[in-house]
Amino acid sequence: MEFKDYYQTLGVARSVAEAEIKRAYRKLARKYHPDVSKERDASERMKEINEAYEVLQDPKKRAAYDRLGTGWQPGQDFHPPPDWDTGFEFRGSPAGEAFGGDFSDFFATLFGGAVGARHGAGVHRRGEDHHAKILIDLEDAFRGATRTVTLRVPELDAKGRLAARERTLNVQIPKGIREGQLIRLAGQGSAGMKGGRAGDLYIEVGFKPHAFYRVDGRDLYVSLPVVPWEAALGATVKAPTPGGTVEVKVPPRSQGGRKLRLRSRGIPGDPPGDLYLVLEVVLPIPETERAKELYQTMARELAFNPRRSLGV
């Protein structure tokens, strides 16, 4: 497994006091917290930061970690020295568990024993619930789909030590699902202890950005380009819907920005969502003499000041 340099993760020297570690953590949390951060890899970074802080803020864990010495490089292949943790007892802190499986093998090897000891003394206990998020294509919400989810789940091995195991599940995505909905899979969380029930798995569903549909709850929005004469005179034009191409009537005297609602063409459900076509007037570029003439004719014969509302 790879060695983790927790001091480097928090950007502090090995010698700093506890208060400085806390300060460094808070600063990084503000930057990378997935709930407030815009950084792309915020969620990954926050996991590393949380793991580093979990170890360094706890004097016992920090002392044990420090005992590994300074000879290690981040990413270097690591095997713990025998009896490296003699004399330390990690207790009271939910090592790794708080991250719901989002800890490194390095962490589990060093500090995972603590959880086993804690749970071993317990009695009949329900397994923990787990949480995951998946991104699906908008089309999946129209047809339903099956998606494979890979999870890292914390488990206790035969010796009662904590280890992360990869688990793959094929999850049925029901037709009509919306962004922000949760699929609850009963019994797919952690196993129970001493005859306790298994926990559940909650999967939050998000949509991948679509090339042209924008999603708002069950409703969809799409910009529909039209040429000036289609908008001015009215026309029947083709428009995309997730269910296939349809023909729609653009009413005469339409302006750009006008919304045409196609009832029940949004995400299926009860009630189904609507699809809004937002007209976008596109001007043909006058490439030929003939095209220029047509624009010139309009300029001559249509007395129209589009800036009248600006008083100019």
Partner 1 sequence: MDTDIVTGILVSEQGALSLEEMVEACGTEVEWIVELVEVGVLSPEGPDETAWRFGALDLLRARRLARLERDFAASAEAAAVILDLLDEIERLRACLIRAGVEAV
Q: From the list 8, 14, 36, 122, which residue makes contact with partner 1 (rule: CB under 8 A)?
A: 36
- Residue 186 touches partner 1, criterion: CB under 8 A: yes
Closer to partner 1 by Cβ: residue 34 or 81: 34
What residue type is 294 in one-letter code? L
Name the segment binding partner 1 (CB under 8 A); options: 1-9, 68-76, 127-135, 304-312: 127-135
| 106-122 b/e (C-beta count within 10 Å ≥ 16 → b) | bbbbbbbbbbbebbeee
Q: From the list 13, 15, 35, 304, which residue makes contact with partner 1 (rule: CB under 8 A)?
A: 35
Closer to partner 1 by Cβ: residue 184 or 249: 184
Answer for the pair 117, 161: CB distance below 8 angstroms, yes or no: no
Euclidean distance between CA atoms 205 and 133, whole angstroms: 6
Name the segment binding partner 1 (CB under 8 A); options: 64-72, 82-90, 173-181, 239-247: 173-181
Closer to partner 1 by Cβ: residue 68 or 248: 248
- Residue 165 touches partner 1, criterion: CB under 8 A: no
Query: What DSSP element (H or E) covers 170?
Result: strand 162-173
Six token digits for residue 307: 């800036």
Rounded to the nearest whole angstrom, what is the least distance from the CB of residue 182 to partner 1 in the complex?
4
Q: Dihedrals φ, ψ of 167, to 5°? A: -135, 135
- Residue 128 touches partner 1, criterion: CB under 8 A: yes
Alpha-helix residue ranges (DSSP H) falling in the chain: 6-10, 18-32, 42-56, 59-66, 105-111, 113-120, 138-143, 228-233, 289-301
Euclidean distance between CA atoms 95 and 116, whole angstroms: 10
Closer to partner 1 by Cβ: residue 70 or 170: 170
Of 231, 243, 250, 253, nearest in space to 274 by CA = 243
Q: From the list 23, 62, 167, 258, which residue makes contact with partner 1 (rule: CB under 8 A)?
A: 167
Q: From the list 20, 76, 91, 98, which residue makes contact with partner 1 (rule: CB under 8 A)?
A: 98
- Residue 235 touches partner 1, criterion: CB under 8 A: no
Closer to partner 1 by Cβ: residue 46 or 138: 46
Q: Dihedrals φ, ψ of 98, to 5°? A: -60, -25
- Residue 26 touches partner 1, criterion: CB under 8 A: yes
Euclidean distance between CA atoms 183 and 270, whole angstroms: 18
Binding site for partner 1 (CB under 8 A): 26, 29-30, 33-36, 46, 50, 98, 126, 128-129, 131, 146, 167-172, 174, 177, 180-186, 188, 199-204, 214-216, 221, 223, 278
